[in-house]
Structure 1
Amino acid sequence: MTRKIIDMTKDPRGGQFEYFRTMTDPWAGITVPVEITDLLASLNGRPFFLSYLYTVMRAANAVPELRRRLLPDGQVVEYDHCDPSYTVMKPDGTGVYVYCLLEDDLSSYEKFVAEGKRRQKETLERGTLTEDGDVLANFFVSCVPWLYYTQIKEPAGGADDSNPRFAWGKYREENGRMMLPMSLFINHALCDGWHVTQFYKNLDRELAELSAYLKTQNEQQ
């Protein structure tokens, strides 16, 4: 994983960057209902959370602006790749953070799920609320599987915080389609609504591709 410095004085979003950097709360978020009918039908016993997380991370990494971060000195860097840091629940109801790696090709789905299971087991045994490695390189992920919500607010560390937050809730059937509330929160200094829209478009594509891939795998078994 590498990163490069972005000169925002020469970046097309330089003006927006300077404008939103003056705000005490530049965070913006949107929740969109996402259809997961085909994914659920293709899982065949595979874990839903890690499967859906896989598509979310691929969709997010395809948007360079979502991989941009603010450094303490005010510079902006862009990572070539970001991995998820997500919460899992211990038996007592408290959460711990899990950090999982994501490879590039679609065949890495199995590796991602296996790695996710291993990391979750290790983290639950360790039982501490800590994050590994370069935290700026993470996408922060949370799930509220008990509620189908229409709005949610994620905590952020202020104007200098820059890790995008991803969240989703409980899925339910609506007119024969399985729908899931999917939320994305961004520091507006680093990206705009257009980039958020690209994420959701990417997510629809990734869901379709993974569903087709898993369907083929099921037929070959």
Structure 2
Amino acid sequence: MNRYREIDKNAWPRRTVFEYYRTFQNQLFNITLEVNAEPAYRMAKRTGRSFFLSMLYPLLRAVNAVPALRQRILDGERVVEFEHTAALTPILGADDTFTMALTEYADRFDAFLRQAEPAVAAAKRGEFDPAVRRRQDYFCASCVPWYGFSSLTQAALRLDQSIVILAWGKMNRSFTIPVALQLNHALADGRHVGLFLEALEKEIGSMAAYEC
């Protein structure tokens, strides 16, 4: 598990907002964004890399760029902020069932690929360590490449969960993909979604420079 710091809620500017939304039965909100994926797509085509991983990497970087999206609620009311979060993503196997793959954070795309490609290969074989689910330092990221969508509501294990849930869909002819987020309103709001979108557009744009 990645390192984390516990937030001192007595000195936390968001404390009042946090406590307000923690009274809600359903603390989750869902939002769907449109993102230009062309730089990542063209890089993947040029280098022969997986377009799936070429999108997962900037998504991973963008989530980690926003501190609120690295925060989790533990033991009821403790709030911690992880130094980095990984991405837990379902991989489709030959039998049309899904196995999860954990891809860790990395500062460079080539370093990301070195651990992500074997993780995806293992998931395609149906191999996954269930102990990973005991971690809190990840977000869930699903790709649905068969169709686009204009709105998506994610499944929720609990209506007060704090793990970020993310999905992205099929790219259209304008190189646009939908990206859906589910966040806990006690930790994040529309401003944080805007910061995520800004970071994601920057990260996707930077993929054009990769030659690995």
Normalised to the residue count of structure 2, the TM-score between the two structures is 0.92
User: Take 2:100 and 2:40, find their aligned partners in 1: how far apart are those partners?
Assistant: 25
User: Take 2:5 and 2:129, find their aligned partners in 1: how far apart are those partners?
Assistant: 29
Report the Cα offset of residue 140 of structure 1.
Answer: 0.7
User: Take 1:120 and 1:161, find their aligned partners in 2: how far apart are those partners?
Assistant: 26
Query: Which structure 2 residues correspond to residues 145-160 of structure 1 after superposition, within 5 A?
Result: 145-160=145-160
SS at match of 2:205: helix
Normalised to the residue count of structure 1, the TM-score between the two structures is 0.89
Report the Cα offset of residue 113 of structure 1.
Answer: 1.8
User: Take 1:38 and 1:209, find their aligned partners in 2: how far apart are those partners?
Assistant: 8
User: Take 1:39 and 1:51, find their aligned partners in 2: how far apart are those partners?
Assistant: 6
Cα displacement string for residues 4-47 of structure 1 (whole angstroms, at most 9, x for unaligned residues):
11122321111110111011111011111111122222221111
1:50 has 2:53 as partner: yes
Query: Which structure 2 residues correspond to residues 118-129 of structure 1 after superposition, within 5 A?
Result: 118-127=118-127
User: Take 2:77 and 2:159, find their aligned partners in 1: how far apart are those partners?
Assistant: 11
User: Take 2:153 and 2:22, find their aligned partners in 1: how far apart are those partners?
Assistant: 20
**Partner of 2:62 in structure 1?**
59
Question: Percent of aligned positions with the same letter in both sequences?
Answer: 31
Distance 1:127 1:103, change over 3 A: closer
Conserved? CA contact 1:90–1:127, under 8 Å: no
**Partner of 1:39 in structure 2?**
40
More displaced stretch, 32-41 vs 131-140: 131-140
User: Take 1:56 and 1:78, find their aligned partners in 2: how far apart are those partners?
Assistant: 18
Gaps of 5+ in 1: none
1:68 has 2:65 as partner: no
More displaced stretch, 62-71 vs 132-141: 132-141
Conserved? CA contact 1:144–1:170, under 8 Å: yes
Report the Cα offset of residue 168 of structure 1.
Answer: 0.4
Report the Cα offset of residue 127 of structure 1.
Answer: 4.2
Distance 1:15 1:133, change over 3 A: same
Report the Cα offset of residue 133 of structure 1.
Answer: 6.5
Gaps of 5+ in 2: none
Conserved? CA contact 2:147–2:169, under 8 Å: yes
**Partner of 1:179 in structure 2?**
176
User: Take 2:130 and 2:94, find their aligned partners in 1: how far apart are those partners?
Assistant: 18
SS at match of 1:116: helix
Cα displacement string for residues 62-87 of structure 1 (whole angstroms, at most 9, x for unaligned residues):
10010000102421111011010000
Distance 1:131 1:155, change over 3 A: farther
Distance 1:66 1:186, change over 3 A: same
Number of residue pairs matched by the alignment: 209
